Amino acid sequence: MKITFLGAAGGVTGSKHLITIGEKKILLECGMFQGRRKEAYEKNKVLPFDATKIDAVILSHAHIDHSGLLPLLVKNGFHGSIHMTPGTADVLEPLLMDSAAIQAEDAAYYSKKDHHDDTLPIKPLYNDDDVHKMLSMIRTHDREKTFRVADTADVTFYNAGHILGSAQIHLRADGKEIFFTGDLGSRGKKILTDPVRAPHADIMITESTYGGRFHKDRNKTRDELGKIIRDTYARHGKVIIPSFALERTQEVLYDLHRLFDLGKIPQIPVFLDSPLAIAFTEIFARHTDAFDEETHEFFLSRKKNPFSFGALRLSRNVGDSKRLNTSKKPAIIIAGSGMCEGGRVRHHLLHNIEDPRTTVLIVGYQAQHTLGRKIVEGQKHVMILNQRVKVNARIETLGGYSAHGDQKELVANIVETPGIKKIFIVHGDDEQSKILGNVLHKVSPDWEIKIPKPEKTFLL
C-alpha cells in the first residue's frame, strides 16, 4: 500500500491524497486549489492522475477545497462511487452548484472585451450537468458504521466537529489502519458535537491549519459581539458582517439568538441577505442530530430553532436586498461573500462604509489581495464595484469563530488515538506544519513524523 499527496501538501487548499492498494486506487478527497485566479486555474484544470483509473473516492466534508473538483473528476471519466456522510451530501449540492455558477460568471466577465486578458482563463472547469452527474454517484454512510470501498478497504467515518456532516476517515486495508482527520474542529465549538477519536490506528494523516496557534475562549467572542452591536446601535449605525454562507453564518445567527434571549442586545432587525446562506441555514436546522448539548439545552428543549428569531429577516431576492441600501435605520446585515470579493455584501459596503456610524465586523479569515483583507488592514480608501470610497466606518474583528481546532486539539487527537507510529502532517502553511511537527516530536520522539511535499509518494 502507498500514498501520494497531491494537494493540501505544503499549503491549505486542493486537498487530494491518492492511496494505492495493489491494483486499486482510492482517492481521499478531490479539492479545488484556491488563491490568485490564474495560478489556481492552472493547478485545477488538469487532474494529476487518470480519472478513469480511480476506483472510489472518500470525502471528509463539503468545503470546496476538499470537494470542489469532484465534478471535474466525473467529467474526466471517473465512474466509481463517492462516499460521504448524509450531512455532507446535503450541503454539497448547493456548494457545488454555487461553484459552477461562479465559474460561469467569471468566464462571462473575463471574456468581455474590456476585461479580456490572454493570461486569464475564460473557461469554467465544469457546469451544472457535471455537478448533477456527480451527485448521482454519491453513497452516504452514517458515522461509526463500517462500509467496504473498492472491494479492498474497510472504512468508518468518525465525527470531526468541523462543519455540518464533517468526518474523520478511518481506513483499514493491507493490514494497516490509517486515520485521516480531514479538517478537524474542536471540543467546545458552537452548535456541533465534539470530534471523536478512532479506536486504534497505525498511521495518522493530520491537518495543521492552526498547528502553531491557540484559540480564545468562545464565550468571550459572544460577549464581544454583543458589545460591538450595542456600541453601533448607540451611534444609530448599521453592523455589516461579511460572512461565509456555511457554518460561520449559522454560528453568528446562533450567538445573536442567544444575545437577544439574554437581553444583551436591543431589538434591532437582523437581515440575512444571501440566498445561499438562507439555504444552508434551513439544511442546518434539519440536522438536529448534529447539535451539541448547549444547543439542545437552550433551543431544542424549548422547542426553538437556534437560527430563527423574531428580529430575523430573510432577504431572498435582489429587491429585498436593494431596499436595505436606502434604509438609514440601525440594522445588522449578514451577507456574502465572506472575503467581500463577490456577492451582495459589496453593495452594503458601498452604501455604508463612508458613514462613521457603520461598523464592518470581520468574522472570518481574509486572504491576501481580497477586499476584506484591505479593509481589515485599515486602508483609508478602497475600490468597491469600480468606485473609490473612503473608509470612515469602524472596523472590528472577531477571531473566535474558527471552524478549525488549534494546536491543543490537533495534538490531543493524536495522543488520544491508540497505536500511532507514523504521522503525516498536511493541510497547513509551512510554518504551521513545522511548528506542529516539532511539538509532536517532543510529545513522543518514537513517532515517525513527515511533512510531505506535493506529489511525494510514501510506502505505508
Residues found near Zn ion in the complex (CB under 5 A) = 63, 183
448: exposed, middle or buried (C-beta count within 10 Å: 0-12, 13-18, 19+)? exposed
133-160: buried (b, 16+ CB within 10 Å) or exposed (e) per residue? ebbebbebbebeeebebbebbebbbbbb
CB atoms inside a 10 Å sphere around CB 102? 16
| Grid coordinates belonging to 53 | 483509473
As measured in angstroms, the least distance from the Cβ of 162 to Zn ion is 6
As measured in angstroms, the least distance from the Cβ of 271 to Zn ion is 27
Nearer of residues 64 and 240 to Zn ion, judged by Cβ: 64
Nearest to 452 by CA among 273, 206, 263: 206
Whether the Cβ atoms of residue 456 and residue 426 lie closer than 8 Å to each other: no
Nearer of residues 63 and 238 to Zn ion, judged by Cβ: 63
Nearer of residues 307 and 365 to Zn ion, judged by Cβ: 365
Whether the Cβ atoms of residue 270 and residue 278 lie closer than 8 Å to each other: no
As measured in angstroms, the least distance from the Cβ of 192 to Zn ion is 12
Nearer of residues 63 and 347 to Zn ion, judged by Cβ: 63
Nearer of residues 92 and 393 to Zn ion, judged by Cβ: 92
As measured in angstroms, the least distance from the Cβ of 100 to Zn ion is 19
Distance CA 324, CA 326 (A): 6
As measured in angstroms, the least distance from the Cβ of 160 to Zn ion is 9
Nearer of residues 65 and 177 to Zn ion, judged by Cβ: 65
As measured in angstroms, the least distance from the Cβ of 88 to Zn ion is 11
Nearest to 53 by CA among 25, 13, 92: 25
How do strand 153-159 and strand 147-149 relate by DSSP bridges? antiparallel
As measured in angstroms, the least distance from the Cβ of 447 to Zn ion is 25
SS3 355: coil
Whether the Cβ atoms of residue 238 and residue 332 lie closer than 8 Å to each other: yes
Nearer of residues 16 and 63 to Zn ion, judged by Cβ: 63
